[in-house]
Amino acid sequence: MGEAVGRTVEQVLALVGWVGAGRKLPQTGRVTLTDARALVEVLDTGDRMDPVIGDRTFKTKSSEELYHLTLLVEWAKAARLLRTVGGRLLPVKKNAELLDHPDELRGVLFSALPHIGPAVTVSGWLESLFTHEYDRGLRALLYRLYAATAPAPLSDLYEVVWHAVSPLYVLDDLSPDRLGHLRTANDHDVQRVLKALASLGAVHLTETTAELTADGRIETARMRGEPEPGDAVLRILVELADVDDPRVWRQLLVPASIHLDRLHSVIQDAMGWQNCHMHVFTIDGVQYGRPDGELGFRDERTATLGALLKSGAQCVYTYDFGDSWEHLITVEQFQTAAAGLHYPYCVDGAGACPPEDCGGAPGYSDLKVILADPAHGEHHAMLEWLGLRSATEFTPDRFTPDAANTRLLHRTAP
């Protein structure tokens, strides 16, 4: 953490110092208007009290109208530096030592980013989709910045966040004007998040581009769950069962502490699946998946690979309960993370990922036979289903680790 402490850190330090032993709050739970007037000056938030527009003065009626002050208070609360108890705003004593370590404090504030959505995204009369899908949009934004090798155009970042959050909504019936207003609101919220990141010292922001600082990269890597140099990593072999000619397999390096829900996303990206179906891990006869009362899976979010499997041990990952694609996972070796390498990382592999919904291993075998025979009765139907003009475009042996690593680096799943 060698860069200058960001403005947000300085303001939060001043805010906690101002709170002192505690401050009384009104029934709304917001800072009183009297205290807000003082804080705007003390913290130099840039908020305008009683703004004058034209020849009219608009009286500030609540501290909630003061965007930057509200954001700082909510950020400090999300970082567990302040808390509200019995109608008072109080410091969290067990975290007081952070106030003497600004670099560590910046890391804590960065970790709190996913929890301040309502405070940082305030779109006005039209709420953005980013507001409603804040965690998903935030990760898409940070991971795009993390994958960039040069300053990213703001226009690209707007698109990344839009494409991360908009598929969750039906927007086909919206008029062009309405859709345009919605995208503008989304872009404005992206700008607010980038400004918050810049004030934290995590992003270099210009009028047209954004780029993670060195500290921003470190914190984003932690958010992605990447191990730090020297941490334990596992080299695992993931092989698609009952598929040959060619075999389909991937050799991966993953953190030993990786939770199974994240390992699911890693396998999807490394193999080339589209994450369209359900999945389950079977380890020592126990099934781990998304919590579901009917299926009885253990919660995969609470289970880590390194705690469940030792070197040489195996488990099965099943994807798509209809086609039943079984992947045999073998822990080949325990290693330590190296500096400069992004994790998860695909070391090697072979064989293209089969098409989704092709009938599992038996259906994939039949598909290869059909495409290899132009005279087969289903040949043209299968080409049309795959969206191919010719069977020469079907390349079941095509795979490069670089392509897998690009997907892994750009992934937005937690």
Q: Is the pLDDT of residue 292 over 90?
A: no
Average pLDDT value for residue range 170-198: 95
Q: Is the pLDDT of residue 413 over 60?
A: no
Q: What is the pTM of this model?
A: 0.82
Mean of the per-residue pLDDT values of the chain: 93
Q: Is the pLDDT of residue 2 over 60?
A: no
Q: What count of Cα atoms within 13 Å lies in the side-chain half-sphere of residue 344?
A: 32
> Which residue, among 130, 413, 60, has the nearest Cα to 261 in the 3D structure?
413
Q: Is the pLDDT of residue 3 over 50?
A: no
Residues 110-129: b if buried by 16+ CB within 10 A, e if exposed = bebbebbbebbbbbeeeebb
Res. 38 pLDDT band, cuts 50 70 90: very high
Q: Which fold has domain 232-354+396-410?
A: 3.10.290
* Residue 239 CB coordination number (10 Å): 18
Res. 412 pLDDT band, cuts 50 70 90: low
Residues 312-322: b if buried by 16+ CB within 10 A, e if exposed = eeebebbbeee
- The token pair at 404 is 């897998």
Q: Is the pLDDT of residue 129 over 60?
A: yes
For strand 286-289 and strand 298-299, is the pairing parallel, antiparallel, or unpaired? parallel
Q: Is the pLDDT of residue 340 over 90?
A: no
- The token pair at 195 is 């400004």
Q: Does domain 121-224 have CATH number 1.10.3720.10?
A: no
Q: Is the pLDDT of residue 304 over 60?
A: yes
> Which CATH code is given to the segment(s) 1-106?
1.10.10
Tell me what percent of the residues of the chain surpass a pLDDT of 90: 86
Residue limits of CATH 3.10.290.30 in the chain: 232-354+396-410
Residue limits of CATH 1.10.10.2260 in the chain: 121-224
pLDDT, position 5:
62
Separation between Cα atoms, residue 235 and residue 196, nearest integer Å: 37
Cβ pair 234, 305 in contact under 8 A: yes
